[in-house]
Amino acid sequence: MFNASRKAITEMTRSKEFEWITSKAAAKLAHIDERHVRRLGDEGKIKMIKLSPRVKLFLKSDVERWQPVKRGPKPKREMTGTTPGM
């Protein structure tokens, strides 16, 4: 997360080099939930500017590059001779 002055934030958001988007737009772009976008920003996986306690902007190029981590298969449970609920 960037900790910058309001003037620096204004210059960054207007720059063609950096394109900042809202969590709603980032979620639509990455095909994930808005809460997940905000969590990725809080974890530092996507660059984020916090304008106020409720307003956050995300770097579009980071959102476009982000790929979900593929999880492995769940381990199989061993079957026992008992049935559930008995």
DSSP annotation string for 20-84: EE-HHHHHHHHTS-HHHHHHHHHTTSS-EEESSSS-EEEEHHHHHH--PPPP-PPPPPPP-SSPT
Q: Where are the domains positioned within the chain?
A: 6-65
Is the pLDDT higher at 18 or at 22?
A: 22
Q: With pLDDT > 90 as the criterion, what percentage of the chain qualifies?
A: 49
Query: Could you tell me which CATH number the domain at 6-65 has?
Result: 1.10.10
**What is the average per-residue pLDDT within 33-51?**
94
Tell me the pTM: 0.65
Higher pLDDT, 17 or 59: 59
Q: What pLDDT does residue 21 have?
A: 95
